[in-house]
Structure 1
Amino acid sequence: MEKLTQERLRALDDDHIRTHSQMEQSNEDVLIRSSEIPGGYVVPPHRHRRTQFLCVFAGVVLVGTERGRWMIPPGHALLIPRGLEHSVEMYSDVSMRSVYIYSPEGLAASLEPAVLEVTDLARQLITEAVRQGPVPEERGRAELVMALLLDEIGRLPERRLGLPFPASGRLAELCRDFVEQPSPTAKIDDWARHLNMSRRTFTRFFREEMGVSFVTWRQQACLFACLPRLAAGEPVTRVALDTGYESVPAFTTMFKRMLGASPRAYLTSRAAA
């Protein structure tokens, strides 16, 4: 990753502000933007009057909202409802494409963010739409490509990569510490003791605060910690052991359960897509 100087940061901020203003003033029903952004840059909180389909081609992106945080690995996209304030952090050098839809239908009209797996067809359609540019030479062909793309977005499979996160308090501190140093063997009893709660009270409190069980959140948080390192090319064995797994097979089992493929197969398919 390049080292971001103050001058580079200002240039990135200026580009974001300029582009955001142009998009918000546009009357086009669908807009597409291609972005190559260095790791470490954080797009400050903002919102759009269109639904955003943020598709990651390379690198890892973390999108934060008041409703939670979503990590987007290569080959996936986050559907961000119109009007929802969000920030975007680049965990590594990122290549991404965004489709902004003014009149979404079906899945794209969801009021809640959703992580979607991008099919080969969707990726190719996005690539073609970017290639055609804002003023395509063949208007009829461009309209067909866009219509098919919007239909395909509405059919993409959802992946549970969202990580609920409390806004503040002692539970938030524990969650932040865990994301920094994840462990698949973290115990409910230890967390309950930190919060001076009984196991039963903590279990109920955690689910009420987070919307998921402690075990489900722990698994998801471990995956959060692993994806940027795997996407950066670190060996699976090192990542598995550093994350607290006793063996690579145990780590692989968790990974396959969450993403449907082994780490190597998953990342290879994302790179080849």
Structure 2
Amino acid sequence: MTRLHQIAPSSQSLHPLEKPVTVLNRQVAVNSVIKRHRHLWGQFIYASKGVLAVNIGNERYIVPPEQGVWVPPQITHQVTALTQVTLTGFYLELELLSRLPPGSSLLAVSAFLKALICEARNIPPDYAWRSPDGRLLRLIVDQLAIAKQVALKLPYPRDLRLMEITRELQQNPGNGNSLEQWGSIVGASARTLSRLFKKETGMSYSQWKQKLNLQLAITALAEGQSITNIALNLGYDSPSAFIYMFKKHFGISPKKYLAV
């Protein structure tokens, strides 16, 4: 079992911001976990290099460099580095949040926004809000407000029977059990399990499993695993079947997905 290294969140978490936008740069080692915490203000979490897993409530996001996670104020979250990560966080005061999503979201990071974030990493902590540095940060807020939301968050159920199923699928994603087969294992009818999946996750069993496979595939790609191994571990008959599924969802091949 991989050992996770627990690290503390920023000491600023429970203190008012000194600037309308605060930039936090951080190098996070692979398998490090920034413990569950929350902020008084909004936060955008972005990794210019590496892949993050962000847990918010019962939802989990896998975050490559093409995306970032928006976390509203007072929302408890935990961040895990699945690879070596170069992290940039933007803390936004409440007055700037009216155009940002009201709930946690995975946001697409355009080439323009990525370039702005790269420049913002060099802004000193004592910058003036009405200076060129402040203008750059205001432009980043504008870009976050219009960023496209990416539908790759994965809600986890709370029903004990569904939790047993989802735990097994995380450990053995190639498991091809139908709901009828799961029903005989966890003691519920396929109809009951189907209804509960839709009620607790907002998606069908097959949709949930595909989302899990996409998240696991991104993680495996970040670890440098081969397409063939990933396809077989996820239960696909061939690498081409996996590539087809991946391109259907993301519009690009797995090899191109993590290219930065």
TM-score, length-scaled by structure 1: 0.86
The runs of 5 or more residues in structure 1 that have no matched partner are: none
Match 1:212 to one of 194, 203, 208:
203
Q: Kindly indicate whether residue 121 of structure 2 is the aligned counterpart of residue 130 of structure 1.
A: yes
CA distance in 2, matches of 1:87, 1:138: 30
1:59, 1:232 within 8 Å by CA — same for their partners in 2?
Answer: no
Q: CA deviation at 1:141?
A: 1.2
Residue 229 of structure 1 aligns to a residue whose secondary structure is: helix
Please name the residue that 2:132 is paired with.
Answer: 141
Q: Please give the per-residue CA displacement for 1:214-271, whole angstroms capped at 9, x wherever unaligned.
A: 1110001111211122012222122112221111121112112322211012122xx2
Letter in 2 for 1:263: P
Give the direction of change, closer, same or farther, for the CA distance of 1:200–1:137 in structure 2 (3 Å limit).
Answer: closer
1:104 to 84, 96, 108: 96
Question: Which position in structure 2 is the counterpart of 1:20?
Answer: 13
**Is residue 248 of structure 2 the alignment partner of residue 257 of structure 1?**
yes
2: CA distance, partners of 1:149 / 1:111: 18
Q: Which runs of 4+ in 1 moved over 6 A?
A: none
Deviations 1:37-71 (A, max 9, x none): 00111111110111111112122211112241111
Structure number with the higher helix fraction is 1
Mapped pair 1:241 → 2:232: yes
Distance 1:81 1:131, change over 3 A: same
Deviates more, 1:252-261 or 1:209-218: 252-261
SS at match of 1:25: coil
Q: Quick one: which amino acid aligns to residue 18 of structure 2? A: N
Residue-by-residue CA offset, 1:161-207 (whole Å, 9 max, x unaligned): 11111246231122122112113744222223323222222211211
- Alpha-carbon separation, structure 1, partners of 2:132 and 2:88: 20
> Equivalences for 1:51-62 in 2 at 5 Å?
51-62=42-53
Shift of residue 153, structure 1, vs aligned partner:
0.8
Q: Does the 8 Å CA contact 1:53/1:100 hold for their aligned counterparts?
A: yes
Residues 17 and 117 of structure 1: is their aligned pair in 2 closer, same or farther, counting only changes over 3 Å?
closer
Identity %: 27
CA distance in structure 1 between the aligned counterparts of 2:231 and 2:246, rounded to whole angstroms: 10
Map of 1:154 onto structure 2: 145
Shift of 1:94: 1.2
In structure 1, distance between residues paired with 2:160 and 2:86 = 35
Q: How many angstroms apart in 2 are the aligned matches of 1:187 and 1:104?
A: 47
Distance 1:98 1:17, change over 3 A: closer
The RMSD of aligned alpha carbons is 2.2
In structure 2, the residue matched to 1:40 is 31
TM-score, structure 2 length as denominator? 0.90
* 1:173 aligned residue: 164
Q: Which amino acid aligns with 1:149?
A: I
Quick one: which amino acid aligns to residue 140 of structure 2? L
